[in-house]
């Protein structure tokens, strides 16, 4: 008796969580549509000239081989910029 109810409750909970997460992602994407962001392909100098110094420059990662280029990450209050060299 308890087993079918437990299975039904588990299935109901399993299908409600993804719908909520999808909605949050859509709202976040719509909110950022009007934001001014760096364009793809801009250099570090171009980004810094337009948006100023980042709040934080993280240590570069990668570069162990040609297949893994060095990635630089700059964090601004509203967005993060990734540079690949």
Do 41 and 76 lie in one domain? The reply is: yes
Residue 77 lies in domain: 36-85
Number of independent structural domains in the chain:
2
Looking at the structure, tell me whether residues 40 and 5 fall in a common domain: no
The pLDDT tens digits for 18-69 are 555 556 666 666 666 667 899 999 999 999 999 999 999 999 999 898 889 9
Same domain, 15 and 44: no
- Based on the fold, state whether residues 84 and 44 are members of the same structural domain: yes
Predicted pLDDT of residue 77: 93
Shared domain check, 78 and 65: yes
Give the 3-state secondary structure of residue 65. strand
Angstrom distance (rounded) from CA 51 to CA 68: 28
Q: Quote the distance between the C-alpha of residue 15 and its chain's center.
A: 24
40 shares its domain with 53: yes
Q: Do 54 and 68 have their domain in common?
A: yes
């Amino acid at each position: 008796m308890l087993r079918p109810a437990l299975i039904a409750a588990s299935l109901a909970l399993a299908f409600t969580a993804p719908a909520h997460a999808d909605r949050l992602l859509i709202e976040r994407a719509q909110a950022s549509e009007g934001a001014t962001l760096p364009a793809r392909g801009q250099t570090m100098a171009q980004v810094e000239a337009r948006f100023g110094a980042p709040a934080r420059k993280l240590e570069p990662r990668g570069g162990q081989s040609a297949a893994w280029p060095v990635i630089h990450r700059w964090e601004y209050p509203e967005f993060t910029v990734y540079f690949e060299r």
